[in-house]
Structure 1
């Protein structure tokens, strides 16, 4: 085996080993809050692999890098063919040849395979400054290569933006692929979809806990809208089954608690519950319908929908002072608030004149609203990625069938996330799963 491997801990042997630094130059390239963000040209040539017959591993790794990094919207992934034949060894790199082809960033690496194990080095270079920005070493089974690639993609995004990105996240959503509405899970890019609930009933409104270990959702498995709190890896959990409706769960950031809409008292109000489903206290106290809570990142405020002004509008409540503030005034039907992980915006669904439904965002400093979708069916249920760079949502723009789409936080690059039987709706984006 190659001599570059350094053992990093027996606890991760035969799985995915944590990377060790080769070199690190401090740079800050990408301002993810800039709506005029210029994509950085990056090239990912085939990764050098030994023995030479393992070319399929090299091709898959390079293709995965291109797909994952391109998915973020931060990078312009260049065709690798014009760069064929250029040396990728760190000691012999001729940076001028890479910049001549338009590349500003370059990913290189080595993969050594023996007995089903892969020893891996990946590097990120700034071709203009002729600097090594990141270098990491990993070890794992060959089947773990996709996870190793995602891990290094996270390192790249973290180095360039200060955020760990989305590669270790999942999306929960509702699908009718089995003939009934069930909760499904998929990876950040729509791949690896699998069924989470098997109630052969109606399941709605999935919500992730802030440690990504629990999902709360509403199910009609018992013939009424009960709230289920379920561990992501097993069947342990709780059921809130009070008279009336038990729905729209929203976990409190950093706590094993959640808000939900309950109507056992007659009105639909928002209550705070423990992670075991026990009542803590009532959060809204109004004769009107109050529903769909969404917490601020610090857990000190929550947005919600209320018809207390005569039509559904979005309000904010400070849990410390008790102050309630209406934040939407344009339009007569605004619902499904989703607070940005950066805390500066709230996305929501708004019904336009003529019945068209679109995704809007409101800036909480200026209180100005911006529309992100236009003339493309009904667009609903916005859900932010944990780094605040992307928004998932459901749309009927394809023949009236609801599908899951994503777009940037500024409404650009709208594209369908997956192709599955039935209809898909109610996306909920998880926090990062696992450690950096």
Structure 2
């Protein structure tokens, strides 16, 4: 049985309501910090209301429209609105509800009573200026509750990185209003055959800014991000054997991590970036090994006359979830990082694989075969009854977003496999790739580019 065989998955059509957020809603409590001008929103476990936010159109700083300014304004405005709408914390208000749409330079220009009456909690007022190959933007964030500005920040980016600029703005707004880090600046790596070979690609979380990261003309499998987001490991048949490589994204350099005869695949990085757990078959069958990334020294963790594969570190680095058929069929198991205290997690279904820890470490998403199709399931790490999040076609390879509120996955629901995202309860499914066969998504940590 190959790693690709042990990489299939399963689920049902139930909606997982208890996982979507660590909040049932957001209670708006704006706290004035004594001696400061900042206002923050405190997120609690009670209440059902989201933050209703108005994002005004990006206007030229001097209100004079240059030839390309209309397009710049549309891209920046649309991207920020979509970023905030994707977040579980916000409802982005329709522009028809805006009491005013321009002419706002400072607090004195805003009629906060009118905005509050329109049901708006926060107002984003952006301006921009295009200079040659660069775009500069200034964003102000106002609270209608206290009638004051709570954020003012400037941004600069090359013109071709306009979406990145917008994502940076969105993440700062999320951080300011919720205290949580946003994920608009994250990427999703995946394998695609759009060039005729399985190569490594990456795309923004929303499907924009596609880039190809390898051109090996060989089969590539199992991308995995380093915790800092500056490197990504993968398995490649470039030399005929499935060897483990790492791509340094800063230097754009690929080096070999492990090239034992047989499988070197399914890597997962420890949270501190010092170690990698992965699958090695040099002993005659697939076993779990742990490698010191600096010294390249590997140590075997499993000693079972069975296939052990697809290991993944827990967020605190103390445990490893993995797939094993030691019970006769592939199931998810959990063990300590030393290979001891092994316990079986999944019992429902006869084929469970490809575990993905939630960032808080309390849930595991995985693939499970149900009625002949693979679906995405989620369950507590302590065990219990799984909740199935998908039902149409085959849905495989779940990968949590770094905030834990979303899951990326591959699905053939429309024919060829494409990459999708969904909320962590299975709602709001979105397709983010459209060309070719796309598989094996890996959601990046929060990174700066």
Which TM-score band applies after superposition, normalised by the shorter structure? 0.7 to 0.9
Q: Are 1:418 and 2:418 counterparts? A: no
Q: Are 1:137 and 2:193 counterparts? A: no
**Number of residues paired by the alignment?**
407
Tell me by how many angstroms 1:149 deviates: 2.8
Tell me by how many angstroms 1:38 deviates: 4.5
What is the alpha-carbon distance in structure 1 between the residues aligned to residue 177 and residue 295 of structure 2?
41
Q: Are 1:342 and 2:360 counterparts? A: yes
Tell me by how many angstroms 1:365 deviates: 4.5
Task: Identify the residue that residue 55 of structure 2 maps to in structure 1.
Answer: 44
Compared with structure 1, are the counterparts of its residues 190 and 145 closer, same or farther at alpha carbon in structure 2 (3 Å cutoff)?
closer
Listed as ranges, the matches of 1:125-164 within 5 Å are 125-139=142-156, 145-164=162-181
Task: Identify the residue that residue 290 of structure 2 maps to in structure 1.
Answer: 272
What is the alpha-carbon distance in structure 1 between the residues aligned to residue 440 and residue 188 of structure 2?
10
TM-score (norm 1): 0.86
Task: Identify the residue that residue 38 of structure 2 maps to in structure 1.
Answer: 24
Q: Are 1:244 and 2:248 counterparts? A: no
Task: Identify the residue that residue 433 of structure 1 maps to in structure 2.
Answer: 447
Task: Identify the residue that residue 323 of structure 2 maps to in structure 1.
Answer: 305
Tell me by how many angstroms 1:51 deviates: 2.5
Q: Is the 8 A contact 2:216 2:238 kept in 1?
A: yes
Compared with structure 1, are the counterparts of its residues 220 and 38 closer, same or farther at alpha carbon in structure 2 (3 Å cutoff)?
farther
Task: Identify the residue that residue 410 of structure 2 maps to in structure 1.
Answer: 394
Match of 2:124 among 107, 117, 120: 107
Q: Is the 8 A contact 1:107 1:125 kept in 2?
A: yes
Match of 1:63 among 78, 81, 89: 78
Task: Identify the residue that residue 87 of structure 2 maps to in structure 1.
Answer: 72
Match of 1:405 among 420, 424, 428: 420
Q: Are 1:292 and 2:310 counterparts? A: yes
What is the alpha-carbon distance in structure 1 between the residues aligned to residue 412 and residue 276 of structure 2?
30
Task: Identify the residue that residue 198 of structure 1 maps to in structure 2.
Answer: 215
What is the alpha-carbon distance in structure 1 between the residues aligned to residue 142 and residue 37 of structure 2?
11
Tell me by how many angstroms 1:335 deviates: 0.4
Match of 1:53 among 64, 67, 89: 64
What's the CA shift string for 1:173-208, capped at 9, x where partnerless? 011101121111111212111111111121111011
What is the alpha-carbon distance in structure 2 between the residues aligned to residue 365 and residue 241 of structure 1?
35
Task: Identify the residue that residue 5 of structure 1 maps to in structure 2.
Answer: none
What is the alpha-carbon distance in structure 1 between the residues aligned to residue 363 and residue 163 of structure 2?
33
Structure 2 unmatched ranges of 5 or more: 1-35
Q: Is the 8 A contact 1:393 1:404 kept in 2?
A: yes
Q: Are 1:316 and 2:334 counterparts? A: yes
Q: Is the 8 A contact 1:237 1:276 kept in 2?
A: no
Equivalent residue of 2:182, what SS?
coil
Q: Are 1:380 and 2:391 counterparts? A: no
RMSD (CA atoms):
2.4
Q: Is the 8 A contact 1:205 1:217 kept in 2?
A: yes
Q: Is the 8 A contact 1:240 1:277 kept in 2?
A: no
Match of 2:104 among 78, 81, 88: 88
Q: Are 1:370 and 2:381 counterparts? A: no
Compared with structure 1, are the counterparts of its residues 231 and 335 closer, same or farther at alpha carbon in structure 2 (3 Å cutoff)?
same
Tell me by how many angstroms 1:340 deviates: 1.0
Runs of 4+ in structure 1 off by over 4 angstroms are 112-119, 139-145
What is the alpha-carbon distance in structure 1 between the residues aligned to residue 383 and residue 376 of structure 2?
18
Tell me by how many angstroms 1:282 deviates: 0.8
What is the alpha-carbon distance in structure 2 between the residues aligned to residue 197 and residue 146 of structure 1?
23
What is the alpha-carbon distance in structure 1 between the residues aligned to residue 49 and residue 345 of structure 2?
32
Tell me by how many angstroms 1:40 deviates: 2.9
TM-score (norm 2): 0.84
Compared with structure 1, are the counterparts of its residues 131 and 321 closer, same or farther at alpha carbon in structure 2 (3 Å cutoff)?
farther
Q: Is the 8 A contact 2:40 2:177 kept in 1?
A: no
Equivalent residue of 1:26, what SS?
strand
Q: Is the 8 A contact 2:330 2:352 kept in 1?
A: yes
Decide which moves more: 322-331 or 158-167: 158-167
Task: Identify the residue that residue 7 of structure 1 maps to in structure 2.
Answer: none
Q: Is the 8 A contact 1:349 1:381 kept in 2?
A: yes
Compared with structure 1, are the counterparts of its residues 196 and 145 closer, same or farther at alpha carbon in structure 2 (3 Å cutoff)?
closer
Q: Is the 8 A contact 2:225 2:232 kept in 1?
A: yes
What is the alpha-carbon distance in structure 1 between the residues aligned to residue 40 and residue 180 of structure 2?
14
